[in-house]
C-alpha cells in the first residue's frame, strides 16, 4: 500500500530513467546500512513453503518468482533484491566493455496499458565493474543469474568472443548465466537467434562454460538462452532445435516485443522493446510452443506480462518451471512478491497439485 499510495505517484512524476536509478541506488545504499536488509526482509520477504520450493539446474529456489534482467544492470543491488521476496534474480545485461547505451530519452511508461517501452541499448559499466559489485555480496539467500550480451560495436561474426569474455570474468560470481540474443535495442543482435550464427555462438559459449567449470573443479554452472517473442512458428522451431542441440540448460521466454498491437498511449510510437501487460498472452503462447517443441525436456523460465498469480500460473501450466517479473514491479511495488506467491499456492490447491513441479506443463497433458 505504501508503494502504490506514496512512492509510485512520486516516481511517476519523475523521468522514468531517473526514477529507475533512484530505486537501484537506493536499494544498493540501503543494503549497506547495518540491519537494513533484515528490515527489508521482514517487510517484504516471502516465507518458504514446500509447495512452492523448486529445484532446477541443480539449484534450490524457495519459490519460482524471479526478477528479470534489465533492472539491476551492474549488479549493485543484488543484496537488496535478495531481501525483498524474490526467489532468484537476474543482473545485467552486461557487456565486456562499458557502454553508454542509446541516446536519451530511452525509457517510456504507458500507464493505461501498464506497459513500458525501452531502447536502453545495454547501457552498463562492463564486466570488471560487475565482478567487483558481485564480489561484495553479503546476502546469499537466493540464486543470482548473470545476463550477458555483446558490445554494440562488436560485429556479429565476433559476438561469440564477447559472450566468452563475459563468462571468463564473471563465472565465479553467478549461480547461473543467461545468453541475451533477443534484445531489440542492439542492432543486429536478434540475427544471432538463427542458423549457423546461433550454432557457432552457443558452441563457443558451452566450451567456455566447460573450461570454467573444469578450472573450478566443480560441476559446470547452468546457462540459459533468452529468446524473442516475435519469431514466426518456423523460426521458433529452428531456433529451439539449435538451442536444444547445443546442450544449454534451458530457455527464457520471452524478451520484449516490437509489436504495438492494441496500444493507445501517445508513447506507443516510440522505438524499442515493449514489456508489460500487452505481452502477457504472446509470451505464454511462446512458452507453450517451446514446451511442445522440446517435449518438456528443456526447462523454461517464463517472462512477459506477469501482473497477478493467474498470469504466473498460466505460464507454469503452459510449461514454465519458473517465471520472472519486471514491469509489474514498477507498477505494483515489492508487495507483488507476496501477492504472487500467495496466489500461486491457491491456484495449486484449486487444481489439486501439491507442488509447482506437478503443475509445470499441465495444459499439455
Of 183, 283, 288, 303, the active-site residue reads 183
Give pTM, 2 decimals: 0.96
Kindly state the cell numbers that stand for 45. 520477504
Q: What domains sit in the chain, N to C, each tagged with a CATH number?
A: 2-364 (3.20.20.70)
pLDDT score at 249 = 98
pLDDT tens digits in sequence order for the chain, 365 residues long: 789 899 999 999 999 999 999 999 999 999 999 999 999 999 999 999 999 999 999 999 999 999 999 999 999 999 999 999 999 999 999 999 999 999 999 999 999 999 999 999 999 999 999 999 999 999 999 999 999 999 999 999 999 999 999 999 999 999 999 999 988 878 888 888 887 889 999 999 999 999 999 999 999 999 999 999 999 999 999 999 999 999 999 999 999 999 999 999 999 999 999 999 999 999 999 999 999 999 999 999 999 999 999 999 999 999 999 999 999 999 999 999 999 999 999 999 999 999 999 999 999 99
Beta strand segments in 111-156, E:
115-118, 144-148
Active site residue 342: no
Compute the distance between CA of residue 161 and CA of residue 310 in angstroms, rounded to an integer.
Answer: 41
Reading phi first (left if > 0) and then psi (alpha if -120 to 50, else beta), residue 10 is in alpha
| Euclidean distance between CA atoms 26 and 22, whole angstroms | 6
Q: How many residues appear in the chain?
A: 365
Only one residue has cell 490447491, namely 349
Distance CA 115, CA 358 (A): 31
Amino acid at each position: 500500500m505504501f508503494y502504490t499510495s506514496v512512492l509510485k505517484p512520486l516516481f511517476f512524476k519523475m523521468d522514468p530513467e531517473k526514477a529507475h536509478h533512484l530505486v537501484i541506488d537506493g536499494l544498493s545504499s540501503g543494503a549497506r546500512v547495518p540491519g537494513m536488509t533484515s528490515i527489508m526482509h521482514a517487510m517484504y520477504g516471502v516465507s518458504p513453503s514446500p509447495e512452492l520450493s523448486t529445484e532446477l539446474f541443480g539449484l534450490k529456489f524457495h519459490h519460482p518468482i524471479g526478477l528479470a534482467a534489465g533492472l539491476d544492470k551492474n549488479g549493485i543491488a543484488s543484496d537488496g533484491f535478495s531481501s525483498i521476496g524474490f526467489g532468484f534474480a537476474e543482473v545485467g545485461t552486461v557487456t565486456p566493455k562499458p557502454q553508454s547505451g542509446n541516446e536519451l530519452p530511452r525509457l517510456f511508461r504507458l500507464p493505461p496499458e501498464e506497459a513500458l517501452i525501452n531502447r536502453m541499448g545495454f547501457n552498463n559499466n562492463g564486466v570488471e565493474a560487475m565482478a567487483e559489485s558481485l564480489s561484495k555480496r553479503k546476502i546469499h539467500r537466493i540464486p543470482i543469474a548473470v545476463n550477458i550480451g555483446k558490445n554494440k560495436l562488436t560485429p556479429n561474426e565476433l559476438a561469440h568472443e564477447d559472450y566468452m569474455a563475459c563468462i571468463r570474468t564473471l563465472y565465479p560470481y553467478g549461480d547461473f548465466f543467461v545468453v541475451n540474443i533477443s534484445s531489440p535495442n542492439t542492432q543486429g543482435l536478434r540475427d544471432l537467434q538463427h542458423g549457423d550464427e546461433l550454432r557457432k555462438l552457443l558452441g563457443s559459449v558451452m566450451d567456455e562454460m566447460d573450461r570454467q567449470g573444469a578450472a573450478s573443479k566443480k560441476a559446470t554452472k547452468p546457462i540459459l538462452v533468452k529468446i524473442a517473442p516475435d519469431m514466426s512458428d518456423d523460426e521458433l522451431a529452428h531456433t529451439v532445435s539449435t538451442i536444444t542441440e547445443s546442450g544449454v540448460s534451458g530457455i527464457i521466454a520471452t524478451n520484449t516485443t516490437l509489436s504495438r498491437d492494441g496500444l493507445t498511449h501517445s508513447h506507443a510510437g516510440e522505438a524499442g522493446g515493449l514489456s508489460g501487460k500487452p505481452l502477457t498472452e504472446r509470451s505464454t503462447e511462446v512458452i507453450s510452443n517451446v514446451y511442445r517443441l522440446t517435449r518438456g525436456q528443456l526447462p523454461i523460465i517464463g517472462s512477459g506480462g506477469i501482473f497477478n498469480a493467474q498470469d504466473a500460473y498460466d505460464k507454469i501450466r503452459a510449461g514454465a518451471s519458473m517465471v520472472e517479473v519486471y514491469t509489474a514491479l514498477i507498477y505494483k511495488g515489492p508487495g507483488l512478491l507476496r501477492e504472487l506467491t500467495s496466489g500461486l499456492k491457491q491456484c495449486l490447491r484449486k487444481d489439486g497439485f501439491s507442488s509447482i513441479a506437478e503443475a509445470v506443463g499441465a495444459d499439455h497433458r
